[in-house]
Amino acid sequence: MPTYAIGDLQGCHVSLLRLLEAIRFDPAADRLWFVGDLVNRGPDSLAILRFVRGLGDAAVCVLGNHDLHLLALGEGLGREHKGDTLDPVLAAPDRDELLAWLRARPLAWREGKYVMVHAGVLPQWTVEDTLARAAEAEAVLQGPHFAEFFRQMYGNAPVAWDDALEGVERLRVIVNAFTRLRYCSAAGEMEFHHKGAPGTQPAGWLPWFEVPGRRTADATLIIGHWSTLGLVNRPDLVALDTGCLWGGKMTAFRLEDRQVFAVPCPQARSPKA
């Protein structure tokens, strides 16, 4: 029963179907892992949500920043961003069922040596810490007072983890790490403004996975989120956002043998959007 991890979909339904055809996906025998950002900016987020939800136990998906953005908008919170393509989801007759399903997705997923998150993991967290911090936030997102968190979710502070953090500040650090992280300092302070490829960042910042002494280095982290990083396939990191939305590729990684599959994608969004 092979398992395939797949990079950010962002509403690119046709490209997903082409990739599944390329890997000869069998929903009765195979499993799919999605690294988050199922929705937004691409042409058909509604079809993506219906399709992935319909896979049932054949699919695992972690939440990305665009997924959380959709959930906040669904509660009438946050504000629409330029380039959002979420109105068809919010107007759909099955929107409540789809949003409830999405809100129940995890922030982190582990099987064997693989740990999947959307964006990153703070360098001072172990794998066990990572799963525990994810469980904290998932309990709130899946609980009765989730709208209160969405009301206060947006923001860049605090920029670093502290075991003494409480309340919304603690949750915001956790969610920002899992869904927004690219660069941080050697001390684990997060930086959210620079989105370019490694080597283009300002002095003093490192890709989170290059911080010396990172405590998850003995696991294989599977991520998306960072299209300018592109494909990475190394023992401690598999990065799968290969820019389908921007006319790049949609990529799958087979966990059992680390083989990579990809299909070209039509450009759905200009680089400046």
Domain of 106, CATH number, reads 3.60.21.10
Q: What is the pLDDT of residue 269?
A: 73
Distances from the Cα of 89 to the Cαs of 46, 66, 105, 110, in angstroms? 5, 13, 17, 29
**In the chain, % of residues over pLDDT 70:** 99
Look at residue 272 and tell me if it is in a domain: no
Q: What is the pLDDT of residue 267?
A: 83
Instruction: Kindly report, residue by residue over 122-141, the tens digit of the pLDDT.
Output: 999 999 999 999 999 999 99
Angstrom distance (rounded) from CA 132 to CA 129: 5
Give this prediction's pTM: 0.97
Look at residue 104 and tell me if it is in a domain: yes
Look at residue 273 and tell me if it is in a domain: no
Assign 241 a pLDDT band (cuts: 50, 70, 90): very high
Structural domain that includes position 145? 3-264
Look at residue 142 and tell me if it is in a domain: yes
Look at residue 176 and tell me if it is in a domain: yes
Look at residue 232 and tell me if it is in a domain: yes
Angstrom distance (rounded) from CA 262 to CA 264: 7
**In the chain, % of residues over pLDDT 90:** 96
Assign 272 a pLDDT band (cuts: 50, 70, 90): low
Question: Total structural domains in the chain?
Answer: 1
Look at residue 271 and tell me if it is in a domain: no
Q: What is the pLDDT of residue 268?
A: 76
| Region 258-272 average pLDDT | 86
With 0-12 / 13-18 / 19 or more C-beta atoms within 10 angstroms meaning exposed / middle / buried, residue 26 is exposed
Cβ-based neighbours of 171, under 8 Å, separated by 6 or more: 136, 137, 140, 149, 153
Look at residue 9 and tell me if it is in a domain: yes
